A and B are shown apart, each in its own frame.
Chain A
Amino acid sequence: MSAVIINAVRKGFYLDSVALMRMSRSLADLDGVEEAAMMMGTPANLQIMEDAGLIDEVGKDAGGGDLVIGIRAVDLAAAELARAEANAQLDAPAARSGTAETWRPRTMRAAVKEVPDANLALISVPGDFAIAEARKAIRRGLHAMIFSDNVGVEAEAELKREAQRLGRLVMGPDCGTAIINGTPLAFANVVSRGGIGLVGASGTGTQEVSCLISQYGGGISHAIGVGGRDLKSEVGGISTLMAIDALGHDAATEHIVLISKPPPAEVASKVLDRIAVIGKPTTICFIGASDLPMPDNATQVYSLKAAAQAALGLNDDNGSSLDVTLGSTLERPKIQGLYSGGTLCAEAQVLFRAADLAVCSNAPVPGVPDVDDANIGHRLLDLGDDQYTQGRPHPMIEPSVRDDAVVAALNDPDTAIILVDVVIGYGAHSDPAGHLVAVLCDNAPSDAPLVIASVTGTDEDPQIRATQMAKLRDAGVHVAPTNADAAQWAIELINAAS
């Protein structure tokens, strides 16, 4: 079978050679087309087309200002189709440029050039590179928030010492939450602005306190994260002290709230001394710590809820009480807490401990045994802990990480009550309550344990707290107004049953 060659010439029709080569390629890719080219008919181009076996009588006399279409195909039908396609492409209106990809800087250097007045870098890269990037940031005069974890504590301390010398604040590593000048960074909620400044070594602790303050009618000036290890002896609270200073000098901040795990004594005293120097009214929540001597301007509280209330000068109330018919499952001995927020789990432990209930945890506060050493009494697990998240997303991002534990607890004959948290806001899953409800509906036996939950967030968050609570209530979940209240309800129910 011999091939068919057809030519078409558009007199005095100029198109750029690059555009023509692109069109030629698409013609050559058509079924049945052996070769195709569209070129301006200069002698050199006609020679190229001749060599490629693309020229017939029609094309051979074209001039340099003429567009020549040359097609060689297996049969006339295929050739005609290709010519129609060529004409269609030539007559199509120019593509709109709106599809162009927006350029994004790949390096901090280029980003700073684009936004010369930026003063903060959010760093989220694998831990091995986080310190190097943070160092670049502070040396460029930027404050740094390091979302990354898996950074050595020695490297953290060294970085923070350099930042301190440069007068730059390092938030993190492993800093999940901050709100600076009303801008939420990483996991944070849409809260009202106001006069309360937070310093948090814990992400969900900061989220819970900032959301409760907002719900109680107050507002946040800034929420500064410092990373979970800042108050350890190796780091010595460098960022915490800088954050306290910053809020101390910030005219918009009237009251400071500090949230952290209990620091070692020497770090705690350094921090409290600084609070005394700053002089602004301060609420200290070292979650799980015992009584510490406080400076005159500071008050120690023991739960996140109490921290929010103390910051606003509210009286402690016990929240709404639970109205529930005691079912048969409440005769069972055990409460299981399945938390996605580490500090929410810690707050529950503090309340269990205060109520003299036997409790264990994989992330125990002082006075609570580790679940691996003593799996006794009630069990409150932090499912966002490293042991559960190695190679998996955090349960706040992907709630299905918690599914297996929830299903097991639902079917455990010893479990009377399941305690869960639902954390919403930026960075969190788009519908964590909906996901939890689906798991409960699909897996709950008829004699399932009671489920008590709370939702950390606000109605202004993308997931809308009221909507999330309604979904839980509709599925028979008892929804407490705060994480502390949820734990308290569980404690009261189990005490009433025994």
Chain B
Amino acid sequence: MQRIEEANQQAIERMVTGDPVLVDVIPAAEAISELKERMILHAGPPVEWDRMCGPMRGAVMGIAVFEGWADDLADAESKAAAGEFDFHPNHHFDAVGPMTGMTTVSQPLMVVENKTFGNRAYCAINEGLGKVMRFGGNDGEVLERLGWLRDDFGPALGRALRHVNGVPLKSLVARGLTMGDEMHQRNVACSGLTLRALSPPFVATSDDNEALAKALAFLGGNDQFFLNIAMAMGKSIMDPVRDIEGASVVTAMCRNGTDFGIRVSGTGDTWFTAPVEMPEGLYFPGFTERDANPDMGDSTIVETIGLGGFAMGAAPAVAGFVGAGAASEAGNYTRTMSEITLAENPEWTIPSMDYLGVPTGIDIRLVVETGLAPTINTGIAHREPGVGQVGAGVVRAPMACFEQALLAFADRMGVS
């Protein structure tokens, strides 16, 4: 017991002393040296083609065309089925990706460096709403936008970031929390703060007004732009917490649309998986829960660091997604999540909850003991490839992941 408490103390310490800074945008091949041609990193725990859900397959097909590994979508599909692509989780390569989470060699990746521990984490640039690859979209419009991100916007963003020596994220997120963001479903404030911080260096490093206008319009027109930054930040904060012997703190939660997986600090690199659940939420016009794909994406890394569903109290407007929940009950979600976490973040606080710190450090022992699974705020993808986002809502992490993890943890600790 003493050993676990001390190990967890160390885990919390590492979490709250992390100093994530958005420093650069670089091609994936440069960021991840192991990344090769025909290698596709995806969201969630490991999954092969035959078990991939519709949107994940759609994204794989689209990205294969984008990278020039297939002539068209049909060709990509048959090549994927024939085993010509090498699938790995983003998490195995210091990366994360929202929804389908496609990461391949030529894509521009945002780099968040945790200055305290010196580690880096990567995430692709958010494509905006509507028909996008992260929701399985793969038509010409989607691929064209990816090309622009790769050739124009990504390099411009990288220049701007280098020009200001990066944007420190911890204080930016702290301000976002006071402005109604929870950094998963709602990134309006943080996206705006990012635009404010980056507009001057964008201008200073650009010599093409038309391109500049397009870049700033894209950044300013995307309420969810900051989500991918928050995800890379989450990954950069949690990676130094991995492999603390005796720590029962969750270091990653993610889903691939088929399985939900978690990793725990004291149990090494093992994924504990269970079938993903269906989100409950609200749908865009013309869509219903019948169209919904099960839960998907690496974005649950934001819940792992105490944001998203854990910080619902900061974003009362998001509470409406739960269905019956009144905005005034948003704080109850945060308080309930504090039942399964070990600490409160001293810097990320929620003004309307008397500056309560966001619940930090999910302890698998507390999850199993209380029967309270982490609450996750999420977008909902269409179950067919290529359609895109159809709604947003809330989903619970499957309890079975935590039960398996606890058994393995107990085994490792010599408890029968």
A residues whose Cβ falls under 8 Å from a Cβ of B = 16, 18-19, 21-22, 24-25, 35-37, 39, 44, 47-49, 51-54, 70, 95, 97, 99-101, 103, 105-107, 109-110, 113
- A49 CA to B285 CA in the complex, in Å? 6
Q: Which A residues touch B285, using CB under 8 A?
A: 24, 35-37, 39, 48-49, 52, 54, 70
| Interchain CB contact under 8 A, A19 and B336 | no
| Interchain CB contact under 8 A, B317 and A109 | no
Q: Which A residues touch B270, using CB under 8 A?
A: none
Q: Which A residues touch B318, using CB under 8 A?
A: 18
| Interchain CB contact under 8 A, A35 and B286 | yes
A-B contact pairs, 16 of them (CB 8 A): A18-B317, A21-B284, A24-B285, A39-B285, A47-B130, A48-B130, A48-B285, A51-B286, A53-B286, A54-B286, A100-B328, A100-B329, A101-B329, A106-B339, A107-B369, A110-B339
B201 sits at the interface (CB 8 A): no
- A97 CA to B318 CA in the complex, in Å? 16
From A24, A25, A103, B336 is in contact (CB under 8 Å) with A103
Q: How far is the CB of B342 from chain A (nearest CB, A)?
A: 10
Q: Which A residues touch B328, using CB under 8 A?
A: 97, 99-100
Q: How far is the CB of A289 from chain B (nearest CB, A)?
A: 44
- A36 CA to B326 CA in the complex, in Å? 22
From B284, B321, B326, B372, A99 is in contact (CB under 8 Å) with B326
Q: Which B residues touch A47, using CB under 8 A?
A: 130
Q: Which B residues touch A109, using CB under 8 A?
A: 339, 366
- A21 CA to B281 CA in the complex, in Å? 10
B79 sits at the interface (CB 8 A): no
Q: Which B residues touch A97, using CB under 8 A?
A: 326-328
Contact with A along B317-346 (1 / 0, CB 8 A): 110110000111101100110110000000
| Interchain CB contact under 8 A, A95 and B282 | no
B370 sits at the interface (CB 8 A): yes
Within 8 A of A (CB), among B133-171: none
- A19 CA to B320 CA in the complex, in Å? 7
Q: Which B residues touch A110, using CB under 8 A?
A: 335, 338-339
Q: Which A residues touch B372, using CB under 8 A?
A: 106
Q: A37-B286, A103-B336 are in contact. List 12 more A-B contacts (CB 8 A).
A: A16-B317, A19-B317, A21-B282, A21-B284, A48-B130, A97-B326, A97-B327, A101-B332, A103-B332, A106-B336, A107-B339, A109-B339
Q: How far is the CB of B188 from chain A (nearest CB, A)?
A: 10
Within 8 A of A (CB), among B362-400: 366, 369-370, 372
Q: How far is the CB of A290 from chain B (nearest CB, A)?
A: 49
Q: Which A residues touch B321, using CB under 8 A?
A: 18
Chain B residue with Cβ nearest A44? B130
Closest 10 CB pairs of A and B: A52-B286, A37-B285, A97-B328, A100-B328, A52-B285, A21-B282, A18-B320, A103-B332, A103-B335, A110-B339
B129 sits at the interface (CB 8 A): yes
- A109 CA to B338 CA in the complex, in Å? 10
Chain A residue with Cβ nearest B319? A18
Q: How far is the CB of A23 from chain B (nearest CB, A)?
A: 10
- A110 CA to B335 CA in the complex, in Å? 9
- A22 CA to B393 CA in the complex, in Å? 12
Chain B residue with Cβ nearest A96? B328
Chain A residue with Cβ nearest B186? A18
Q: Which A residues touch B287, using CB under 8 A?
A: 52
Q: How far is the CB of B53 from chain A (nearest CB, A)?
A: 22
- A138 CA to B24 CA in the complex, in Å? 52
Q: Which B residues touch A44, using CB under 8 A?
A: 129-130
Chain A residue with Cβ nearest B129? A44
Within 8 A of A (CB), among B272-294: 282-287
- A35 CA to B286 CA in the complex, in Å? 7
| Interchain CB contact under 8 A, A22 and B339 | no
Q: Which A residues touch B369, using CB under 8 A?
A: 107
Contact with A along B110-135 (1 / 0, CB 8 A): 00000000000000000001100000
- A52 CA to B326 CA in the complex, in Å? 28
- A12 CA to B283 CA in the complex, in Å? 24
- A21 CA to B335 CA in the complex, in Å? 26
Q: Which B residues touch A54, using CB under 8 A?
A: 285-286
- A70 CA to B285 CA in the complex, in Å? 9
| Interchain CB contact under 8 A, B370 and A107 | yes
- A19 CA to B282 CA in the complex, in Å? 10
Q: Which A residues touch B283, using CB under 8 A?
A: 21, 25
Chain A residue with Cβ nearest B388? A48
Q: Which B residues touch A16, using CB under 8 A?
A: 317
Q: How far is the CB of B357 from chain A (nearest CB, A)?
A: 12
Q: Which B residues touch A24, using CB under 8 A?
A: 282, 285
- A54 CA to B286 CA in the complex, in Å? 9
Chain A residue with Cβ nearest B333? A103
Chain A residue with Cβ nearest B344? A113
Chain A residue with Cβ nearest B284? A48
Q: Which B residues touch A113, using CB under 8 A?
A: 338
| Interchain CB contact under 8 A, A25 and B286 | no
Chain A residue with Cβ nearest B128? A44
Chain A residue with Cβ nearest B282? A21
- A25 CA to B129 CA in the complex, in Å? 21
Q: How far is the CB of A52 from chain B (nearest CB, A)?
A: 3
Q: Which A residues touch B329, using CB under 8 A?
A: 100-101
Q: Which B residues touch A18, using CB under 8 A?
A: 282, 317-318, 320-321
- A109 CA to B340 CA in the complex, in Å? 10
Contact with A along B232-268 (1 / 0, CB 8 A): 0000000000000000000000000000000000000
Q: How far is the CB of B230 from chain A (nearest CB, A)?
A: 19
| Interchain CB contact under 8 A, A25 and B282 | yes
Interface centre among A39, A95, A110 (most CB of B within 10 A): A110
Chain A residue with Cβ nearest B369? A107
Chain B residue with Cβ nearest A132? B369
Q: Which B residues touch A95, using CB under 8 A?
A: 326
Q: Which B residues touch A22, using CB under 8 A?
A: 282, 320
- A91 CA to B328 CA in the complex, in Å? 20
- A52 CA to B284 CA in the complex, in Å? 9
Chain B residue with Cβ nearest A102? B332
- A101 CA to B335 CA in the complex, in Å? 13
Chain A residue with Cβ nearest B389? A48
Q: Which A residues touch B286, using CB under 8 A?
A: 35, 37, 48, 51-54
Q: How far is the CB of B362 from chain A (nearest CB, A)?
A: 14
Q: How far is the CB of A165 from chain B (nearest CB, A)?
A: 16
| Interchain CB contact under 8 A, B339 and A105 | yes
Q: How far is the CB of A35 from chain B (nearest CB, A)?
A: 6
- A463 CA to B287 CA in the complex, in Å? 57
Q: Which A residues touch B339, using CB under 8 A?
A: 105-107, 109-110
Chain B residue with Cβ nearest A111? B339
Chain B residue with Cβ nearest A52? B286
Q: Which A residues touch B335, using CB under 8 A?
A: 103, 105, 110
Q: Which B residues touch A39, using CB under 8 A?
A: 285
Chain A residue with Cβ nearest B315? A18
Chain B residue with Cβ nearest A114? B335
Q: How far is the CB of A288 from chain B (nearest CB, A)?
A: 43
- A362 CA to B329 CA in the complex, in Å? 52
- A37 CA to B369 CA in the complex, in Å? 42
- A54 CA to B130 CA in the complex, in Å? 17
Q: Which B residues touch A35, using CB under 8 A?
A: 285-286
Q: Which B residues touch A51, using CB under 8 A?
A: 286
Within 8 A of A (CB), among B10-32: none
- A103 CA to B333 CA in the complex, in Å? 9
Chain B residue with Cβ nearest A37? B285
- A141 CA to B306 CA in the complex, in Å? 29
Q: How far is the CB of A15 from chain B (nearest CB, A)?
A: 10
- A106 CA to B332 CA in the complex, in Å? 12
- A113 CA to B332 CA in the complex, in Å? 15
Q: How far is the CB of A294 from chain B (nearest CB, A)?
A: 46
Q: How far is the CB of B328 from chain A (nearest CB, A)?
A: 4
Chain A residue with Cβ nearest B329? A100
Chain B residue with Cβ nearest A139? B1
Q: Which B residues touch A19, using CB under 8 A?
A: 317, 320
